[in-house]
Chains A and B, each alone.
Chain A
Amino acid sequence: MDTHAVTSLATADWAVMATYFAFVLGIGVVLRRAVTSSDEFLLSGRSMPAWVSALAFLSANLGAQEVIGMGASGAKYGIATSHFYWIGAVPAMLFVGLFMMPFYYGSKARSVPEYLRLRFDEKTRGLNAVSFAVMTVFSSGISMYAMGKLFNLLLGWNLDVAMLASAAIVLAYTLLGGLTSAIYNEVLQFFLIVFGFAPLVWLGMRDVGGWSGLVAKLQSVATTQGYASDAWVRSWHHMGAAKDNPIGVEWFGLVAGLGFVLSFGYWCTDFLVVQRAMAAESMTAARRTPILAAFPKMLFPFLVIVPGMLAMALTASGGSVIPAKMDASGAPMVDALGRAVLDFDLATPALLVKYFPSGMLGLGLTALLASFMSGMAGNVTAFNTVVTYDLYQGYVNKNASDKHYLTVARITTVVGILVSIAAAYVAAAFNNIMDVLQLVFAFVNAPLFATFALGMFWKRSTGHGAFWGLVAGTTGAAIHHGLSLPAGAVVGVKGGYLGATLHYPSELAQTFWTAIIAWSTCFVVTMAISFFTTPRPESELTGLVMGLTPKPNDEDVSWWQRPVTLAVVVVVCLIGLNEVFW
């Protein structure tokens, strides 16, 4: 394997990498003394300034899938990939900050499942806690495997060594410094990504002749695939019909499926990100966390999607930047027309290798490694909190000392890492099992936002309604998926196992519609069952539901720093960005 490595590192690159990891571990060592209680270890003692928790909020999500995947999508779909940010993230981030954080932070719940117990009942919490815990360790494992594979390909690193070494580093700093350590490292990682990728965009843009050069070079990419010549450089213009854009989705599926159901389901209910805001030092800081994070999030397409577009433009004009995908025997794969199948996942890394001199290559690759690891750390720190507070304290040992729970939290951290490693090896051995698992996770996640929206904004909703709504939503998603098939797929993990009666133009279109069905089913069933079951008395719902909770008061910061003001600024910028790239 080693002889096939794309590139190798110079001394300066190794020095950059070693310096970064020395800091990562050093932070853990210094913070070790601050960890004296389970609250400190798992929740950072609710002490983070808003800007720190905001950057962590952003970085925890900025894992492997994002940097590599968004570059790949930039090459495959062009600037329309920015919908994953401008439609698929920012509105939900504003919503969770403005409207949901008062209940998460104000309820003093220590986790998202715990909020569900306070608001609804034990079974709803249990369902959410178990599914979340399983999902986080498997995501962490999938991410670990993706990292090992990438660095094996790029630098010829041994897969086992790469995976185990990164797991050991993550274990060391999360075990030493807990959530604070994870959050501080997420802050470092944020700046590493920005400084590691900004020059890539700069050099690439110089090379293709600026935005107008990029537009010109991407025309042939679009026309050879049968799209309008500007299909790669306009985000909304071709969204009228699925067949007109490379994403293969029409505007309604995009806005309702991605922009509403999936995006709100992730940013507003996933404990991995919400945990960062819950670690903030005050209610105002917690509410500002996702809103401050929305500013850089809005600009991330230029950092992670544009490199993919640049790589594609250079490849199309004969630069052969993006390598061909190899089959199992190591020969390049070709499609039905005899053209090479490009390995889009290598679009961004290949551009790094092309442009960066020694030293900077180390910076770019360290930024990639850092994002893999902080993704892993994010999963592990969310996993240990849910397992310790929701599963262990909730069901195994309710009344132990805090010292006991701190020990449990530390053990859970080790267990989380070990299970992640196991999951990484399962992913390496059986690709299909991982596809099935990710599908199941998608079914479980899709209806979640309906439950939270009804819980927070409708005091009549009940625990029975919430629980059965979730079950029905997940079942609805599975049924819809089983009855549908995206174009070009065969019956199996891609759908159609209940009889392929619905046909979608692309897998994303199918995913978005599965989410819409799941959300609607959960919403309707939760409401219907709530009407027939007894709601909890209003006195028990103070601080948990709108109308029974005092309005948050942001007078501790000046008017221009308040959540509402910041959110308005974000919305104005967002409209501007969509207009420019329409």
Chain B
Amino acid sequence: MSGAAKFDVRAPLGALFVLLGGIIAVAGVMTRNAMPTGLPIALVWGSVMMVFGAVVSAMAWRARK
């Protein structure tokens, strides 16, 4: 990226998904029994989002080195 003061968009993207995934996973644990489909979807999906966020953050971190 040539713009002197610009940053890698992967940094906020990764951080955002780790945070959002965390909120959703915690909400999933707290309301475990309230799921109509019998699947802990919020816990599962929150975790998936956190993993995605972590991978993107790792890519941003590697690119900076």
CA A184 to CA B55, docked complex, whole Å = 18
Query: Contact: B28 with A16, CB < 8 Å?
Result: no
Given A19-B23, A187-B13, A357-B31: A207 touches B6 (CB 8 Å cut-off): no
Point out the residue from A15, A207, A358 that lies within 8 Å of B31, measured CB to CB: A358
Residue numbers in B under 8 Å from A255 (CB-CB): none
In the complex the two chains form, what is the Cα distance from A34 to B7 in whole Å?
A: 9
Contact B9 A30 (CB under 8 A): no
| Chain A residues near B1 (CB-CB < 8 A) | 47-49, 281
Please pick, from A34, A49, A203, the residue contacting B4 in the complex, using a CB distance under 8 A.
A34
Q: Which residues, 355 to 394 on A, are CB-close (under 8 Å) to B?
A: 355-360, 362-363
User: Do B9 and A12 have beta carbons less than 8 Å apart?
Assistant: no
Of A10, A19, A44, which is within 8 A of B20 by CB? A19
Tell me the smallest distance from the CB of A490 to a CB of chain B, in Å: 44
Report the minimal beta-carbon distance from B20 to chain A, rounded to whole angstroms.
6
Q: How far is the CA of A360 from the CA of B48 in the complex (A)?
A: 13
Interface string of B13-30 (1 = CB under 8 A from A): 101110110011011101
Chain A positions 19-54 with a Cβ under 8 Å from a chain B Cβ? 19-20, 23, 26-27, 30-31, 33-34, 40, 44-49, 52
A residues 189-210 with Cβ under 8 Å of B? 191, 195, 199, 203, 206-207
Docked complex: B6-63 residues within 8 A CB-CB of A: 6-7, 9, 12-13, 15-17, 19-20, 23-24, 26-28, 30-31, 34-37, 39, 41-42, 45-46, 48-49, 52
Indicate if A180 sits at the interface (CB-CB under 8 A). yes
Least distance between B26 CB and chain A CB atoms (Å):
7
B12 in contact with A188 (CB, 8 Å): yes
Nearest B residue (CB) for A10:
B27
Chain A binding site: helix, strand, loop or mixed by DSSP?
helix
Asked if residues A26 and B12 are in contact (CB atoms below 8 Å), the reply is yes
**Do residues A20 and B16 form an inter-chain contact, with CB atoms below 8 A?**
yes
Q: Beyond A20-B16, A187-B13, A359-B24, is A195–B6 a contact (Cβ under 8 Å)?
A: no
A352 to chain B, nearest CB (A): 13
Contacts of B37 in A (CB 8 A): 203, 206-207, 355
Q: Which of A26, A33, A47, A359 contacts B2 (CB 8 A)?
A: A47
The reply to whether A34 and B5 form a contact with Cβ atoms under 8 Å apart is yes
Name the distance in Å between B53's Cβ and chain A's nearest Cβ.
9
Residues of A within 8 A of B31 (CB): 357-359
Asked whether A357 and B23 contact (CB < 8 A) given A40-B3, A52-B9, A188-B13, the answer is no
> In whole angstroms, what is the CA distance A34 to B1 when docked?
12
What residues of A have a CB within 8 angstroms of the CB of B41 in the complex?
199, 203, 355-357, 360
Q: How far is the CA of A92 from the CA of B6 in the complex (A)?
A: 31
Inter-subunit contact B42/A47 (CB<8 Å):
no
CA distance A355 to B15 in the complex (A): 26
Q: Are A360 and B42 closer than 8 Å at their CB atoms?
A: yes
Distance of A176 from chain B, by nearest CB (Å): 13
Residue of A nearest to B49 (CB): A195
B27 touches A191 (CB 8 A): no
Q: Are B23 and A20 in contact (CB under 8 A)?
A: no
A195 touches B5 (CB 8 A): no
In the assembled complex, which residues on chain A have CB atoms less than 8 Å from the CB atom of B46?
A: 359
Q: Which residue of B lies closest to A56 (CB)?
A: B9
Interchain CB contact (< 8 A) of B45 among A30, A187, A360: A360
CB–CB B23/A188 < 8 A: no
Residues in chain A near residue B45, CB distance under 8 A: 195, 199, 360
Q: When the two chains form their complex, are residues B35 and A357 in contact, meaning their CB atoms are under 8 A apart?
A: yes
**What sequence of 0s and 1s flags, for each residue 74-108 of chain A, a beta carbon within 8 Å of any chain B beta carbon?**
00000000000000000000000000000000000
Tell whether, in the assembled complex, residue B7 and residue A30 are in contact, meaning their CB atoms are under 8 Å apart. Answer: yes
Q: Which residue of B lies closest to A31 (CB)?
A: B6
A359/B12 in contact, CB under 8 A: no
A191 to B23, CA, bound (A): 17
Could you write out 7 A-B pairs with CB less than 8 Å apart? A20-B20, A47-B6, A191-B52, A203-B37, A360-B27, A360-B45, A363-B20
B residues adjacent to A (C-beta < 8 A):
1-7, 9, 12-13, 15-17, 19-20, 23-24, 26-28, 30-31, 34-37, 39, 41-42, 45-46, 48-49, 52
